[in-house]
């Protein structure tokens, strides 16, 4: 349900059978006319798009260590690096996901969001050195290239985000995603001047 349901409908043009039991257990009745089924079938998406930030471990062990990814609490993979906000960094997971999504739907893929939130420091000379972001982007873009070599038609990638903005998940400015630094703090103070980070030039 949480992984495939919505994409299954939009990509395949019909409600998946595995949802019948879920709907029955929740006493949900889908009212649909025959022409509604035709509308779904005839209006599937041309491509699949998703956001990717981290992976998680699947386990039945309730005592497994957790990691906080803002709105999602995930099972921690002890072999992965973690960002300052607890997000696990897994470029191999991106390649795996691209292969799984393409295998399931056989449609081109656009990566809508991917990026690293981190504390960046504005130096006295107005430079911002963020080698950790360059490393993150380099590894994830390399993983996309590998997926393309695997045969996955990835036709677009958008990093989140180009310019620093208030983080949607943690509601703070100090968690910066951009390759352009904005002079503003969590309280809204600052000149709002903008500066290119090292990652911008990269």
Which residue stretches of the chain have pLDDT < 50? none
Asked whether 52 and 94 are in contact (CB, 8 A), the reply is: yes
Instruction: Report the alpha-carbon distance of residue 70 to residue 81 in Å, rounded.
Output: 16
What the block records as the tokens of 158 is 């958008």
Identify the residue whose tokens are 């703070």: 172
Asked whether 199 and 180 are in contact (CB, 8 A), the reply is: no
pLDDT in tens, 82-130: 998 888 999 999 999 999 999 999 999 999 999 999 999 999 999 999 9
The pLDDT value recorded for residue 72 is 75
Identify the residue whose tokens are 């409908």: 9
The pLDDT value recorded for residue 70 is 62
The pLDDT value recorded for residue 181 is 98
The pLDDT value recorded for residue 68 is 73
Q: Going from the N-terminus, what domains does the chain have, and what CATH number goes with each?
A: 1-44 (no CATH), 46-201 (3.20.20.80)
**DSSP for 44-107, written as a single string:** --SSEEEE--------S-TTSPEEEETTEEEE--TTSEE-TTS-EE-HHHHHHHHHHHHHHH--
The pLDDT value recorded for residue 69 is 67
Identify the residue whose tokens are 């420091």: 121
Q: Are strands 180-182 and 194-196 parallel, antiparallel or unpaired?
A: antiparallel
Q: Which class for 38: exposed (0-12), middle (13-18), buried (19 or more C-beta within 10 A)? A: exposed
Asked whether 173 and 153 are in contact (CB, 8 A), the reply is: no
pTM, full prediction: 0.92
């Amino acid at each position: 349900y949480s992984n495939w349901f919505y994409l299954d409908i939009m990509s395949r043009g019909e409600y998946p059978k595995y949802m019948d039991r879920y709907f029955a257990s929740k006493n949900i009745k889908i009212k649909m006319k025959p022409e509604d089924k035709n509308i779904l079938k005839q209006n599937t998406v041309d491509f699949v798009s998703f956001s990717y930030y981290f992976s998680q471990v699947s386990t039945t062990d309730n005592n497994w260590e957790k990691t906080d990814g803002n709105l999602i609490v995930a099972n921690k993979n002890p072999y992965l690096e973690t960002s300052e906000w607890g997000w696990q960094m897994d470029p191999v997971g991106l390649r795996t996901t691209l292969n799984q999504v393409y295998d399931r739907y056989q449609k081109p893929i656009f990566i809508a969001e991917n990026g690293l939130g981190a504390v960046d420091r504005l130096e006295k000379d107005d430079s911002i050195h963020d080698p950790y972001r360059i490393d993150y982007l380099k590894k994830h873009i390399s993983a996309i290239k590998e997926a393309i070599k695997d045969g996955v038609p990835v036709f677009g990638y958008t990093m989140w985000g180009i310019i620093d903005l208030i983080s949607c998940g943690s509601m703070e400015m100090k968690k910066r995603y951009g390759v352009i630094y904005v002079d503003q703090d969590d309280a809204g103070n600052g000149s709002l001047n903008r500066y290119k980070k090292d990652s911008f030039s990269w």
